Amino acid sequence: MKILEGKSITDISGIKASGIVCGIKKNGRKDLCVVFSEPKAVAAAVFTTNKVKAAPILVDMAHIQSGNIQAVVVNSGNANACTGEAGLEDAKEMAALTAEYLGISPQEVLVSSTGVIGVPLPMETVREGIKAACAALSKTGGMDAAAAITTTDTCTKTITVETQVGGKTVMLSGMAKGSGMIHPNMATMLSYVITDAAVDKAVLQKALEESVQDSYNMISVDGDTSTNDTVMVLANGAAGNTPITGFGEDYLQFREALDYVNVELAKMVIKDGEGATKLIECTISHAASVSDARLLAKSVIGSSLVKAAFFGNDANWGRVLCAMGYSGAAFATETVDIFFESEAGCIQLMRGGQPLQFDEEAAVAIMAQKLVRIKIDMKDGSAGATAWGCDLSYEYVKINGSYRT
């Protein structure tokens, strides 16, 4: 697998995209995008587990059953969530308008929205925006599309890789948005991966569902699972590989690339967490089961007290152990080792369930780095998992105290 710098989704064969200023946002930033695959394509998706689902999610849950998905339309600045029957009709109209301009059926269009909850979409603005975005589709519009899906994000989040599948070069390119309301249980988090690989629809769905478990479902900014969380993969087969219909070597090569793209996008979301000053990585090793390892790692990085301690560079290992204790995982406290590590060094804080004396100044230096790793050895099995989070700063409260206004 090879990482391709400076590339975007429109570097995938057969893909055009656009990102425009539609007028939904008050700040004049890009806020509507369309992605279009000229070749017919199949799609897979995973949606929020929140029982309160935004209108676009309900539309997409029906449209994703289609054997051909060729377009995605996304608006930012308004989530079209908790907007009743009118909101559902607006989401359907977004798909229908996009389909009309592209010459496909509404069921071949997926829709996403992100932004403020409970406010009706300004449909007159959106209608004109969709028309303009479809007219602006181009092979250079990938980065514009990545910018148009953002809300409180401070940067775009994109990655492109290539790999070999069945003797053919296959590309995968992803773009994501997310900064706050991030605690996916597949936030507001959206992620789109486009590939020119030929993949059977059912196989693609399975690959995505499994990939999500160790990527987007292992991150947390603030513990809030959004009404709009969506991860989609669109595969148009333009690479010319023999279609992946099973789970052999070709599938494994494709999965490796898909997993890498999803993990990197997930980490980009966390690095850009609202008010974040550092990325926290928690790795559990030698746990009794993968499910226990995931529960433990996710609980630690989701703890507000752990996150606040990391913001203050306070090596409060007790908060880590506490978060492990309420995770729901089965483990024996008396076997646990805990380490904090960064480029400034590594320090052990607990051995065999017992606290250790440590150099406080060294601990502060370790925790003051942009990437800090919590390493926890359970000494209870062979399973492991990694989760990613960020610290909790004053700025997070400032941003979210006035988000709607």
Which burial class, exposed, middle or buried, applies to 248 when counting CB atoms under 10 A from its CB (0-12, 13-18, 19+)?
A: exposed
Tell me how far apart the alpha carbons of residues 241 and 115 are, in angstroms, rounded to a whole number. 38
Following DSSP, what letter does each residue of 359-391 receive, concatenated?
-HHHHHHHHTSSEEEEEEE--S-SEEEEEEEE-
Asked if 79 and 115 touch (Cβ cutoff 8 Å), the reply is yes
End-to-end Cα distance, the chain: 45
Token representation of residue 276: 């974040």
Q: Which H or E run includes 42?
A: strand 42-47
Contacts of 239 (CB under 8 A, 6+ apart): 13, 165, 168, 169, 170, 171, 195, 196, 197, 198
Angle between helices 317-325 and 304-311 (to 10 degrees): 160
Instruction: Give residue for tokens 């996009």.
Output: 98
Contacts of 342 (CB under 8 A, 6+ apart): 366, 367, 369, 371, 372, 373
Token representation of residue 310: 């990391």
Tell me how far apart the alpha carbons of residues 315 and 367 are, in angstroms, rounded to a whole number. 7
Asked if 370 and 343 touch (Cβ cutoff 8 Å), the reply is no
CA distances from 258 to 47, 193, 252 (A): 17, 8, 10
- Across the beta sheet with 15-20, the strand order is 15-20, 32-37, 71-78, 109-116
List 188, 195, 230, 283, catalytic entry: 188
The answer to whether the Cα torsion of 171, 177, 180, 185 is positive or negative is: negative
386 a catalytic residue: no
Tell me how far apart the alpha carbons of residues 129 and 352 are, in angstroms, rounded to a whole number. 60
Q: Name the residues annotated as catalytic.
A: 188
